[in-house]
């Protein structure tokens, strides 16, 4: 994470070259991992892509309030009491099938050249998943993905029900990465309309667009969940039961912070890496889980070490839900 001198720099110095070095964390090969998931059994035409200015073609049924199905138990922690792994790493495996963790899943996409990639997404309505634009559009080529699949609550490469794997029918995206870097960053959000209303079974999270001052004031109060490409390591002591390897079980981090707001971009210290793009930064408000920001990128030093992570504000969801 970033050092104190970095955060003490004036805004102009922080952003001088920062966005040029931003790493969009999902567009990397996942090698053979993706091939071991039976997503090819479902065939479908490429999803219909809709620009933000044409949002009227995309209906959002969600109201911003969380939904827990009546038959689905809830848990404040992402693990069963009988199997918790808490080490020096800030992240622990999300191995709970209970709500709200049930509403978070792994996105497996296929780019135009056929190469696979992964991201994280969260149900915010019975058939709507929130993620990043760069999880459905290649920022370098500006090409739209040929196929986008959502695997809800996958743990150690296992699903509750293989029939719940859902395909994207429509995608509403905030940017195609042809604008300036600030505009691309602040609009790096996307909504995926699924071909199945699996949120009725898995539930969905609410969202709250809070002022940056409120987010920053609540230090070490937020939760981050993402299917990170470096986590979990089954060779680590106590993780041997997660034999599917990195990226196939989500990581959970409690106590991370929104550090500041720079040019409408949120800087945060949650632990992230490839695959965690689109992961929700969650605040528990009046006992209910709400997405308060959307992880999307990291700023690295020249040696490759992370300095700070970036997140997208979610006030766009308020606007879109009002328009619907």
168 within domain boundaries: yes
Highest-pLDDT range among 42-46, 86-90, 286-290, 305-309? 286-290
Domain range for 106: 4-52+64-323
Give percent of the chain with pLDDT exceeding 90: 58
58 within domain boundaries: no
Write out the E strands in the chain: 22-24, 48-51, 91-93, 104-110, 116-125, 128-131, 147-152, 166-173, 190-194, 206-207, 222-226, 251-256, 258-262, 265-268, 280-285, 288-300, 306-312
250 within domain boundaries: yes
Q: What is the pLDDT of residue 27?
A: 40
| 57 vs 102, more confident | 102
Confidence of residue 169 (pLDDT cuts 50, 70, 90): very high
57 within domain boundaries: no
pLDDT of 150 strictly over 80 = yes
Confidence of residue 36 (pLDDT cuts 50, 70, 90): very low
Tell me the average pLDDT across 252-272: 92
Tell me the average pLDDT across 149-161: 95
pLDDT of 42 strictly over 70 = no
Question: CATH no. for residue 179?
Answer: 2.40.10.120
Beta bridge partners of 260: 267
Q: What is the pLDDT of residue 7?
A: 31
| 244 vs 31, more confident | 244
Tell me whether residue 284 is exposed, middle or buried, using C-beta atoms within 10 angstroms of its C-beta: 0 to 12, 13 to 18, 19 or more: middle
pLDDT per position as a tens digit, 8-34: 333 333 444 455 455 554 443 322 222
| 231 vs 38, more confident | 231
182 within domain boundaries: yes
pTM of the model: 0.85
Confidence of residue 306 (pLDDT cuts 50, 70, 90): low
Q: How many structural domains compose the chain?
A: 1
pLDDT of 84 strictly over 50 = no
59 within domain boundaries: no
195 within domain boundaries: yes
pLDDT per position as a tens digit, 171-223: 999 999 999 999 999 999 999 999 999 999 999 999 999 999 999 999 999 99
**Averaged pLDDT score across all residues of the chain:** 82
Rounded to the nearest 5 degrees, what angle is found at the Cα of 294, between the Cα atoms of 292 and 300? 130
Q: How far apart are CA 72 and CA 224, in angstroms?
A: 22
47 within domain boundaries: yes
Tell me the average pLDDT across 73-95: 66
Q: What is the pLDDT of residue 33?
A: 22
């Amino acid at each position: 994470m970033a050092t104190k001198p970095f955060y003490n720099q004036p805004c102009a110095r922080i952003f001088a070259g920062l966005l040029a070095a931003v790493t969009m964390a999902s567009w990397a090969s996942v090698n053979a991992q993706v091939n071991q998931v039976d997503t090819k059994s479902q065939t479908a035409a490429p999803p219909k892509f809709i620009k933000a200015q044409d949002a009227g073609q995309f209906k959002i049924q969600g109201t911003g309030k969380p939904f827990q199905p009546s038959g689905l138990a809830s848990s404040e922690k992402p693990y069963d009491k009988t199997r918790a792994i808490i080490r020096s790493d800030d992240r622990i495996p999300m191995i709970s099938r209970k709500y709200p963790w049930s509403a978070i899943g792994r996105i497996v996409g296929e780019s135009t050249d056929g190469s696979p990639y992964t991201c994280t997404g969260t149900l915010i309505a019975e058939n709507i998943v929130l993620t990043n634009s760069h999880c459905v559009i290649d920022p370098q080529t500006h090409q739209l993905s040929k196929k986008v699949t959502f695997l809800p609550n996958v743990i150690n490469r296992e699903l509750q029900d293989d029939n719940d794997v859902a395909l994207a029918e429509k995608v509403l995206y905030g940017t195609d990465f042809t604008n300036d870097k600030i505009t691309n960053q602040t609009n790096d959000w996307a909504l995926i309309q699924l071909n199945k209303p699996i949120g009725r079974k898995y539930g969905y999270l609410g969202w709250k667009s809070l002022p940056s001052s409120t987010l920053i004031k609540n230090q070490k109060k937020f939760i981050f969940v993402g299917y990170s490409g470096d986590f979990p390591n089954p060779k680590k002591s106590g993780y041997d039961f997660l034999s599917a390897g990195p990226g196939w079980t989500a990581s959970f981090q409690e106590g991370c912070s929104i550090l500041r707001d720079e040019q409408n971009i949120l800087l945060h210290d949650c632990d992230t890496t490839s695959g965690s793009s689109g992961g929700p930064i969650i605040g528990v408000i009046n006992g209910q889980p709400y997405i308060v920001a959307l992880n999307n990128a990291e700023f690295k030093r020249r040696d490759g070490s992370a300095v700070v992570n970036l997140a997208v504000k979610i006030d766009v969801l308020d606007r879109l839900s009002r328009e619907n």
